[in-house]
A and B are shown apart, each in its own frame.
Chain A
C-alpha cells in the first residue's frame, strides 16, 4: 500500500515566539508529516518564523479568526491532495508525541475524525472555573445533539481523513468553531471518535478567548447549534 500523504495544519496568530518550536517539534517527531502554518494576519514575524522552521506558510491578508484560518488549512490540504490531516494549535499546547493516538484510528478506518480530548481521562489538565463550566455545558448539549458522549468539544487537536478534510474545506463555522463543527460532522454522517490525550500549558501568549468574550461565545454558539439543527445539509457530500 502506498504511503498516505499526511499534513499537519497549524493555525497561528501572533505566535512569533512559539511557532518555530512547534513546527520543529512536529517535524522532529515525524519527518514524513508536511507542516502548513496558517498565519492569520499576524502583525509580527509569525510567518517568517514558521518558514524558517521548515513549514509551508499560507498567510492570510487580514485576521479571519480561528475558524477561517483552520478552514484555509483544510482547503490547502484538499488542493494539495493530502489524504490525512492533523490539526495542532500554534501555541505549543498540543504535544506531537500524542499524534499517533489520533492518527491510528483514522488510518484503521474507525472514524472519519478523531478528536484529542483533555477530559476523556488520561490527562491532568484543569482549566479555570469559568472555562470549565462553558466546556461542560457545550459537552452536555453536543452529546445530546449527536447522541454520542463527547467530553471535549473545544479541542483543536484532531486528525481527519479525506472525507473530513473535504467537509471542513467546504464549510466550517467561524469563531470558536469546534463545537459547531462537532455537530456538523455527525449531521453529515461522518463518524467521530474521541481519544484521551495530554495537553500542555500554553508556552507563550494567551488563549484567544478572554473572560469577557466567553459569555458572548457561549450564547452565540448555542444559538448557532440551535439553528444548525433546522438547517438542511449545506454541502452535498454524497459524491465523495
Chain B
C-alpha cells in the first residue's frame, strides 16, 4: 500500500497502530468512560471529531507556526475544537453529555491528539493528516467500544443498554466499577501481546510497532507521549548535566 494515501492512513490508524491497544495512548478516557458500549461510542466519536479537525488545522498552519511556540499553538487549536464539541454535545446529546461529564473537556489532554499533532500533522499535508486523524480516531473508537461492550456484558448483563433476561441479577457489578476497568484492559493487552508474539515467532522477525520501555526510544510514537518513562529519563539526564555544569 502506498504510504500517506487516505486509505492507507485509515488502515494504519485502525489496525496497524491502533492507539489504545498497540501504542497504549489515551489511557484516562479508555478506563474511565467504558462502563457501557454506548459511552465508548460517544467518547470515541467525539474524540475522532476533535482529532480529525485538529489534525487538519495544524497541518494547514504547520508552515506558519514557528517551531519554538508550536506546543502552546497546538494546545490552543485542540482546546478550541474541544470547546466546540463540548457545546454541541451539551445542546444535541444531553443524556450522553451527562454520562461522560468531565471527560469531554479532558479530551484536551488526551495524549493521542497531541501525539498525532506532533508526530504526524506537523510534518504532513492536510488531506493525509485529516485521514490520519479519522483513522486514529476510529481505531480508538473501536477499541474502547469493545472494552465497553465486555464490561457492560460481564458487569451489568446488558448489550448496548438492553438487559438480557434476568442476567443482570447474577452479574459481578465490580466490572462496571473502577477495578474492572484495569482488569479488562490488562487482559486485552495480554491477549494482543500473545497474538503478536505468535505472529513474530512464525515470521521470525519483530513487528515494527511495539511499546517500548527503553529510555528515549521512539518517543514520539510511543506510549506516554505526555509523561512517559523514556521522556522522563531524557529529562533526568539533561537535569543531571545541568547540575554538573554549575
Whether A and B are associated in the same complex: the answer reads no
